[in-house]
Amino acid sequence: MSGDLHWLTATEASRAFAAKRLSPVELTEALLARIARLDPKVNAFIRLDAEAARAAARAAEAEITAGRIRGPLHGVPVGIKDIIDVAGLPTTGHSKILVDNIASADAVVVAKLRQAGAIVLGKLSTHEFAIGGPSFDLPFPPARNPWNTDHHPGGSSSGAGAGLAAGFFPLALGTDTGGSVRNPASANGIVGLKPTYGLVSRRGVFPLSYTLDHVGPMTRSVADNALLLDAIAGHDPADPGSAPSSARYFGRLLDRGVNELRIGFVRHFHETDIPATPEVTAALEDAARILQAEGALVSTITLPSLNEFAAVNRVILGSEAWSVHAPWLRSRPGDYGQLARRRLMSGAFIPAGDYVGAQRRRLQMIAAVEEVFRDVDVLICASSMDPSSRIEDAVETARTYPRQARTPFNVTGHPALAMMAGLSPLGLPLSVQFVGRYFEDATVLRVAAAYERAAGWQKRHPPIG
């Protein structure tokens, strides 16, 4: 098989393996060569485990030859965000605090990927402890956006988003506490899903906020996102936040289209709460028109304001993150980067009454979203209100980072997916977000697949390489 192997989706690679037109060794070697050539520009990897990946590829190829295929991810390479444990590799959180922290066991999600036959390539850049931001005072450089390496790739799952867009791997695992899967999906023009809260185990993942954290699949196609979610979803009784759900086979609705599906457009998020740039507004309106042309019934709906969602998220995240980091912040404050230290320290000054009040208001917000879902099947709304800023422009990055509509669905726990919806005049990705009912992640993926087919943005790749 010839051509640009680095742009193969996991679905395409799996079919090529089955047809004996491609082997896991060939694909892994092609990706490793591309990483060696281009990652010095992108900085997606903190730790590339090339020899282990080669060994896993040879083992996967031998199993295929013997007729033993574990599933659609067999032999497919994947990158892992560096707050998720991979046995024998450091889990650093992109921080000096944990730079020598070697994981003794795989996180549950990594163990499930290995059981499915996936090949772990290594650990990916993140904002420090998934909260810092693109920083230059850490042990590793920040990841950069392959569409324009002068710009940031979103975060905190920055290496995952950048590496997917650059063609380094077809699959990646990220985490999402206030939008950290969907922000890099938006900035890099890929597909990122924050699953329903509790659908995917977080055991073996370094926590940021116990009641807001999610692990989510990141891919270049909607079909791959469903495959990856199939592999990692499932109840884990050892994760206190894990839900005993029967949801499965997340790609089962991908070909159904959206005819007669009721879609609620949350226009006030980007029109009045946090006014988006004109190109983002135009992309959102175009996405709604495309779905309407595909047969969906689109209506405008109203939720609590973005500012209120953000305030509740900020109080809960700040309080819970402080509880995780307080010992190190007291004993080793200088070992944090400036951005992470400042954001984590703010949690020390949040009164307990504010935390309790935020959790009470959270329940009311959940009820408000649930009420809307009595009349619609899926929501469409903004993800980012701007294309990504220049990575070294700290002032503009600080201004634009909070201009987003992702945190509401960490507060409520509903499944939410961000994907590409256009390109800005500067050639940077624009985005749209789809949100569904609890444990109806398959319906969110259904809408995303219909939009993907009709809009065709997944066919566009960055000019890098």
Q: Which residues are catalytic?
A: 81, 156, 180
Strand 171-176 to 77-81 pairing:
parallel
What is the rounded CA–CA span in Å between residue 57 and residue 29? 9
Whether the CB-CB separation of 217 and 193 falls below 8 Å is answered with: yes
What is the rounded CA–CA span in Å between residue 415 and residue 434? 8
Indicate the SS3 state at residue 285.
Answer: helix
Strand 119-124 to 45-48 pairing:
antiparallel
Comparing CA positions, the residue from 104, 96, 140, 121 lying closest to residue 24 is: 121
What is the rounded CA–CA span in Å between residue 306 and residue 405? 7
Comparing CA positions, the residue from 278, 37, 224, 49 lying closest to residue 146 is: 37
Tokens at residue 415, please?
């499944």
DSSP, res 255: T
Comparing CA positions, the residue from 194, 164, 200 lying closest to residue 76 is: 164
Indicate the SS3 state at residue 343.
Answer: helix
List the beta bridge partners of residue 419.
Answer: 432
What is the rounded CA–CA span in Å between residue 454 and residue 293? 9
Peptide linkage before 158 cis (omega within 30 of 0):
no
Element at 41 (helix H, strand E): helix 24-42
Residue reference for tokens 């051509």:
3
Any alpha helices (H) in 401-440, and if so which ranges?
Answer: 408-412
